[in-house]
Amino acid sequence: MISLQNLRKTFSLHGGEATVLQFDSLEIAEGETLAIVGASGSGKTTLLNMIGGLLLPSFGEVFVNGVEVTQLKESARDHFRAKHIGMLFQSFHLLEAYSALENVELGAFFSGHAGKKEDAKKLLEDLGLPLHFHRHPSQLSGGQQARVALARALVGRPKVLLADEPTGSLDFEAREDVLGLILSMAKSRKMTVVCATHDEHAAQAFDRRVVLS
Ligand SMILES: Nc1ncnc2c1ncn2[C@@H]1O[C@H](COP(=O)(O)OP(=O)(O)OP(=O)(O)O)[C@@H](O)[C@H]1O
Ligand SMILES: [Mg+2]
C-alpha cells in the first residue's frame, strides 16, 4: 500500500546540508497500522508529510496505492491526497466559523465524496457525537474535537490515514478513546494507518512500530 525506497530528506541550514531522515526501504501493507515513534526532532512529521505528498524527498521514491506520488505535479499530488489520504493533526485544524457537522461536510466536499451530508452525520454518530452536530469547535472538549477531526479525515473514505500526534494534547482517557476509534476504523475499513506518537504505551496498540532516531 505504501512503499518508501531509498528515501532521504535533507534541509539546507547555515549554508550546509542536514540529513533529517533516511530509509533504504519501508513497506507498509494494506490495512496495516504503523506507529512512528521517536524523540522530538527525529523526523516523524517530515516522514508523514512526505507520504502525504505535502513535502518532496531530496532523494528516493514514495509509492501510495501503486502511484509514485513523488512523480506527480503539485496539483495532481493535491488531488491524489484529497481523494486517497485522510490527515489528522495534533491541533486538529478545525474551522471555528463552522459547526462540527459543517467541518465534516467540508471534508467530504474536498475529498470529492458524493454521499456528503448523510455520511457526515452517520460518521459523527458512529464516533460518539450524536448530540454535538451544531456545536462549534470551541464549544467542544479536546477529545470531542479530536473525534470531529477524525470524522473529517475519514468521511471521504480514504485508503490511508496519516495522523501526527493526534492525541498529544489529550488526557489519558480521551487519548485511549481516540486511539481506540482510529484502530477500530482501520480494521473495519481495511484502512492503512501511519501515526506519529511520543507515547510508547499508545504505540503498543499498533500492528508495528518504527523508531526514528
Ligand atoms: N523546513 C525546514 N528547514 C530546516 N530544517 C527543518 C525543516 N523542517 C524540519 N526541519 C528539521 O528536521 C528535523 C525533523 O523535524 P520534524 O518536525 O519532522 O520532527 P518530529 O519528529 O515531528 O518532532 P516533534 O516530535 O517535535 O513534532 C528537525 O531537526 C527539524 O528542525
Ligand atoms: Mg512532529
pLDDT at 116 over 80: no
Tally of domains within the chain: 1
Q: Is residue 19 part of a domain?
A: no
Q: Is 90 in the pocket of ligand 1 (CB under 6 A)?
A: no
Residue matched to cell numbers 471521504 = 156
Q: Cα of 71 to ligand 2 centre, how many Å? A: 25
All three cell numbers of 114? 458524493
Ligand 1 atom showing the smallest separation from residue 196 Cα: 22
Per-residue three-class SS string for the chain: CEEEEEEEEEEEECCEEEEEEEEEEEEECCCCEEEEECCCCCCHHHHHHHHCCCCCCCEEEEEECCEEHHHCCHHHHHHHHHHHEEEEECCCCCCCCCCHHHHHHHHHHHCCCCCCHHHHHHHHHHCCCCCCCCCCHHHCCHHHHHHHHHHHHHCCCCCEEEEECCCCCCCHHHHHHHHHHHHHHHHHHCCEEEEEECCHHHHCCCCEEEECC
Residue nearest ligand 1's atom 4 by CA: 11
Q: Is residue 23 part of a domain?
A: no
Is the separation of the CB atoms in 191 and 119 below 8 Å?
Answer: no
Q: Kindly report the CATH number assigned to the domain that includes residue 95.
A: 3.40.50.300
Q: Is residue 18 part of a domain?
A: no
* 157: containing domain: 31-57+72-211
Pocket mutation for ligand 1, best pick of 7, 44, 51 (most atoms within 8 Å of C-beta): 44
Q: Which residue has the higher pLDDT, 101 or 14?
A: 101
pLDDT of residue 114: 65
pLDDT of residue 115: 66
Q: Cα of 21 to ligand 1 centre, how many Å? A: 10
- Grade residue 198 by pLDDT with cuts at 50, 70 and 90: confident
Residue nearest ligand 1's atom 17 by CA: 45
pLDDT at 155 over 90: yes
Q: Is 42 in the pocket of ligand 1 (CB under 6 A)?
A: yes
Among 50, 88, 47, residue whose Cα is nearest residue 70: 50
Mind listing the pLDDT tens digit for each residue in 54-113?
999 999 999 999 999 999 999 999 999 999 999 999 899 999 999 999 999 999 888 887
Ligand 1 atom showing the smallest separation from residue 47 Cα: 18
Q: Is residue 93 part of a domain?
A: yes
pLDDT at 137 over 90: yes
Q: Is residue 17 part of a domain?
A: no
Q: Is residue 80 part of a domain?
A: yes
Q: Is 43 in the pocket of ligand 1 (CB under 6 A)?
A: yes
Question: What distance in Å separates the CA atoms of residue 138 and residue 211, rounded to the nearest whole number?
Answer: 34
Q: Is residue 24 part of a domain?
A: no
Q: Is 59 in the pocket of ligand 1 (CB under 6 A)?
A: no
pTM of the predicted structure, to 2 decimals = 0.94
Q: Is residue 22 part of a domain?
A: no
Q: Cα of 40 to ligand 2 centre, how many Å? A: 7
